[in-house]
Each structure stands twice: as structure tokens, then as C-alpha cells.
Chain A
Amino acid sequence: MNYLVLDASTLISLAESCLFYILRDLKEKKGIQPVIAKAVKDESVSKPIGIKRFELSAVRVRHAIENGIIEVANLSSEFKAFCSEIEKKANSIFYSKHGNITLLHAGELESIALLKQLNASVFAVDERNTIMLFENPLRLRWLIEKRHHSKIFYNKDVLRDFRQLLPKATLVRSSELVAFAFDNGFVEEELGTGKKALEGALYSLKFMGCAISMKEISNYVKDHK
């Protein structure tokens, strides 16, 4: 079984853009099991279900959990400890003259710990800063420095330790999941197969907050066969 650990950002992008059903198809047709941490369930169901504006998408996610399309996994005590360790490292990599910069929160941290617990090969996360912390932390530091117009320091040893702790997983966004679904015909019944369908789907994810640029979408759609 291939586990696909989902961050709340990916769940939100898919649920809000009516492409949520691809998770069911990924599970039933490709044997990929979407799984979320408890903190992610809180962020995508428990908290927003009380807000009228987000009630429908929260219900959608809850329904998927109740039907087994998405599994909610609890961290074992070993991985709760791992989660605390990752938190200490992640939130002390960068610092300014005012002290450490707290970058990550419970949802992201539990998802990272869950990746390790399940030995999952794929982590779906839509938000830019978490992706950058995984893939290019020094670029994230550059970005923070640029935005703050002040020097941001980093602790080499902490960064090294953090990178060693990070599970080796492929990072994807909802855009890649939808592109995969598109190529496998999962969205054909609802959207057809043309480039407009693909483009429309990708833009809907972008406008729901997926970290993808217009240029990326345009290049991908242009080259898509």
C-alpha cells in the first residue's frame, strides 16, 4: 500500500475546488491510500465545520474520512517524541536579533512525523513555505530576509540535524495529484479531456491557495499532449 500523507493545505485546495473526488479514485484505482494526521483533521474538519462559509468543504472531508477514503492516523508515542524533536529543530533553524523564528505549526509537524511513522513515499502539501523548508531552506531564509529587510541568520548544525531527521519523501502539490488524475482519466466524466479542462482545474487550485504560478500552469498546459 502506497501511503499519501496529506497536509491540510492540499485537502483544502481539493475540497474547495470540487476536485476532491480524485482522492477516492487514487485509492480505488491506484491503491494509493490518502492519510492525514489528527491535527490536519482538526484544521480541515473540526475547526472550519462551525464556519458557514467553509461548512460544505469540511463536511466533504469528514464524509471522506467516515467512508474510509481518507484515513486519520494517530502518532504513536515514539513518533510524538519525534514530532517534538522536529519542532525544536525546525523552529530554531532561522533566527533574527529578536530570537528564533517559529516557522512551523502542529499540523505541518504532525504530518512530517506521520510520514516517518508510516514510511510513506509521498507528502502532498500546497503551501510554499513548508515546501521550501523541505527542499530549499536557504532560499526560504533569503525570502524571509528580503521581506523583512533585515538580516536573518541560520544555525548550520540545527539545519543539518533537521535535514537528517526529515523523512525521504517525494513532495507533491494538489496540482500534481490533479495532473495525474487527468492523465489517468479520473476527471474525464466531469470535465472531459481537453486542455481547457486541465487548465481550468489547475487554476482553480491556484486560486484556492496552491503554491503554483500562472507561468507554471501555462507552460505545463502548453506542453501537455
Chain B
Amino acid sequence: MQDNALLKAIDSLKESFAKENALDLRLLSNELIKKAALENSHELASIALVAYSLHKVMNKEHHIRSPKWKTRKKAILSCIEKAHNALKKNDSKAFHKSINSIAFELQRMDRFFGRYVQSIFDKARVKCAADAYFFGLSLSQAADLTHTDRKAVQEYIGFTRSQDKNEIIEGIGKRLNAFKKAIGEVK
């Protein structure tokens, strides 16, 4: 599992979060999910999820102005450091445990401040899966990459413009005629 790309990714994550650079975190997430889709890498996808979630947190005033922010940030940085060490030791279990700890921290923040039923991390799973679909994976494969529900991803995609790029060549009329022929309604 130890991979220079993974180590570089987690180092970038740590640096951007430590500096509270939301834009860098967002760009990092985009880049990582793209790679994760190409390589079918759940580890890269996990780091992408964390980067995306943290960028969202950075953009919420009520999180970063909270008196608990410094403590929460320290806890998350500690989890990122643990994830880094786990990668260096090739310890997949410890890596995923660290990622789960970050998700837990984010859920704690959501429970206290959050306005929505769906947590930041769960939304990140859906968003990153939609990106993976955009990069060419099937819906199920994309949902599997970020461990999210396929329905949520499909619904999310429905509200984007990705289906309007005319990539499916045959329209309703032609397909409908083909369907009628296939079921014997038309010779």
C-alpha cells in the first residue's frame, strides 16, 4: 500500500489543512478523486474525501470561529499524522482507522453545529463518487470507490449538467422503436 503518491497526497492534505487553505484542499480533492477513479484506489479516494470535507468546514464561519475550533483542528491533524504513519508502515487497517477517526471528528462537529441531516463527510462521499462517475466509472463502481449509496450518487448526478453533453447518441424516439421491435409490437 505504501506508495509515494499516497504519501505525497497525505502530506499535501496536512499542509493545506494546517494553513487552513480551503482552495488548496478543494483542488487537492479534485486531483485525488481523478487519480482514484483511474487507479481504482480506495486509499486515494479516502484522502480525497477528507480534503473535500475539510474544505467545506473551512468555508463555514460557525465552525472556524467556534471556541472549540483549535481543539478540533488539532485532533484532525493528529489523525492525519496517524494516517501518514500508517501509510509509511503499509498498515492498511490503521490507515482506514485514522480516516474513520477524521470522519468521526467531522460528525461530532456536524452534530453540534450542523443544519443538515446529512453530515459533511457523507456529502463528500456522494460528491466525490459523482466526480468519479464524471471521470468515466459506472455508477456502482463510483459509489463503491467512496463507500456511498448508489441512489444518492444517481440523484446527485441528476441535478448536474453532465447528462446534457449529448454523449448518448440515440434519442428516445429511436430507442422506443427499437424497444417495440424487440418485444414484437412492430415488425
Which B positions have Cβ atoms within 8 angstroms of A?
34-35, 38-40, 117-118, 133-141, 143-144, 149-159, 162-173, 175-176, 178-184
Contacts and interface: CB of A to CB of B under 8 A. Distances in A.
Given A128-B167, A172-B175, 8 more contacts: A8-B139, A16-B155, A54-B149, A122-B183, A139-B169, A207-B158, A209-B153, A213-B164
B172 A176 contact: yes
A209 B179 contact: no
A211 to B, nearest CB: 5
A90 B176 CA distance: 27
Contacts of B136: 101, 103, 129, 140, 143-144, 147-148
Interface string A202-221: 10001111111111110110
A170 B157 contact: no
B155 A148 contact: no
B166 A215 contact: yes
B135 A16 contact: no
B158 A206 contact: yes
Chain B interface mostly: helix
A122 B149 CA distance: 26
Nearest to B184: A2
Contacts of A132: 167-168
Given A16-B155, A105-B138, A209-B157, A173 B163 contact: no
B119 to A, nearest CB: 13
A63 interface: no
Interface residues of A, number: 72
B167 A103 contact: no
A43 B150 contact: yes
A200 B183 CA distance: 26
A75 interface: no
Interface of A: 2, 8-9, 12-13, 16, 30, 32, 43-44, 47-48, 51-54, 57, 96, 98-99, 101-108, 121-122, 126-133, 135-136, 139-140, 143-144, 147-148, 169-173, 175-177, 179-180, 202, 206-217, 219-220, 223
B167 A122 contact: no
Contacts of A104: 138, 140-141
Given A128-B168, A140-B136, A143-B136, A122 B182 contact: yes
A188 B164 CA distance: 28
Nearest to A173: B175
Contact of B179 (A52, A106, A176): A176
B186 to A, nearest CB: 11
B178 A172 contact: yes
A151 B133 CA distance: 18
Contacts of B38: 96, 98, 101, 148
B151 A16 contact: yes
Contact of A211 (B155, B163, B180): B163
Contacts of B166: 213, 215
Contacts of B156: 209
B149 A121 contact: no
A98 B135 CA distance: 15
Contacts of B176: 172, 176, 179-180
A123 B168 CA distance: 16
B169 A136 contact: yes
